[in-house]
Structure 1
Amino acid sequence: MKNQTKIILTVVIVAVVAIIFIYPRKDQIFGGGNSGSSPQAAGGPGANQTLPVNVVELRPERLENNLSVTGTVLPNETVNLRTEISGLVTKIAFKEGEFVKKGTPLVYLNDDELRAQFQRLEYSKKLFESQENRQKQLLEKEAISQEEYDIVLNQFNTNLSDMNLIEAQLNKTVVRAPFDGILGLRLVSEGSVISTTDVIASIVNIDPIKIEFSIPERYAGMVELGSKIFFSRESGTQEVEGTVYAFEPTIDSGTRTLRLRATSPNRERKFLPGM
């Protein structure tokens, strides 16, 4: 009886396991007896249905670390024109806003007195020069002493020095352009007496221009001389290239920034100082 009981229990367990395994798969095992109830099993429209997918092609690209800051446009050179001596303005030889080359005469001061002094020295020069020649010949013949000749030679050299002094003062009566640039608005008129403190006009060189800007200190090690920058006007979108040519050797302790300057051509004068 015990053996029969064991056999019956074994058969029951096997039957239960078989039912658990076969029942969920009965349609596949027995050929789909209930074929009408499953569209996929009957070869319906969903039998070969595919899922749409999006494919992205990976390509290597360069990642640029750009920093946007606000800067200021500076002129390449700028000067307020003044005279080196006081005097009466006799002629103004420039127009406001025009471009002038370096050395162009701009303002003339009265030089009548200086020219009269220079002319007197020229006459004295001829006299001292002839005396020096005669004394030199007499010295060669030992007709005079070396001391007598030196006195005449000293007078001649002193006269030449006086002439050079007056000539230098005459040059100061003409105000010339110190460099190529554009003249600003005129602040003096012909007939006015001006001093060394009076501003005649300003002259500005804006080709090339300079761009001054500051960057946070953490970027200081990433910028070097020759680095390229791109800038544009506040009201424009066109970017212009510039080149870093100088920077401060220290970090500003108040703002923790490094100040730099770049230069860029400005032939069309699209950028003006102060932008």
Structure 2
Amino acid sequence: MTADDDLDELYSLAPEHFTARRKELVAAAKKRGDREAATRIAAARRPTTAAWVMNALVHADATVRTRLAELSERLRAAHAAMDGTRIRESSDAQRSLIEQLVRAGFAAADVSNAPAALRDDVVGTLQAAIADPDVAARLGRLEKAERWSGFGDFGPVSDVAVRTATPRPKARPAPPAVPTPSRSEVAAARRRLTAAERDVHAAERADAKAAEELSARTAALAAARRRYEKLLDSLAAAERELNTADGEHQEAQRAATAAADRLAAAQTALQAAQDG
């Protein structure tokens, strides 16, 4: 059993079972002497509901990552070629795939009548997985919903909404175009993101270390308490033995006194018989 196996199992569970099972897996890793695995597992964070839906989807259907990756390549190629027909076809395929995966994800997670906010989070995470290979690589172990930042190698991804039976609103005028960020702005945003991720990872490592230290101190306290209780038991047993020995000593003293009295009486009677 490896840390990756343990993490895959952990993130295949419903959120309400996550914390208890994480504790068990950390203890098991420590027992087999794998401190690194114990630290990684202890650092795992319970997923949000949207992240759980995505994790359940990927664990239920091994083709999800491949289908998202293939669509991502189609979109990149279409935008790189600036082929309007291919872009529209790929965008339609994107909408269709996301609608299918949203339904499949809720079914896999056994979530019915999902609120609109949860649907938006799941759709946003799927869009992010299509646009960002890093998000796609983390599918199955997501801790929270993801949202594509708007930057990408193949241009904007079309907004996708899960179709419902409600009537479509009237079309509104298109909003004014947002200026495309410059390369320097994109680079600066990515540097800020990288720095924030480093801070998060450092905080997670510190939290895991603190949790490990607390676990060790708790174990030491429990061991000291057991030793104390054993000493109390030994002291009680010694007191019982002392009381028993004291009672036996007093009884022996009484017996010795009685024997001495009988000896004195016998000696007196002997002396009287000799004198008579």
TM over 0.5: no
Q: Name the structure, 1 or 2, with higher relative contact order (CA <8 Å, separation 6+).
A: 1
Structure with greater proportional strand content: 1
Please, what TM-score do these two structures have when normalized by structure 1? 0.17
Structure with greater proportional helix content: 2
Bigger Rg over Cα: 1
Please, what TM-score do these two structures have when normalized by structure 2? 0.17
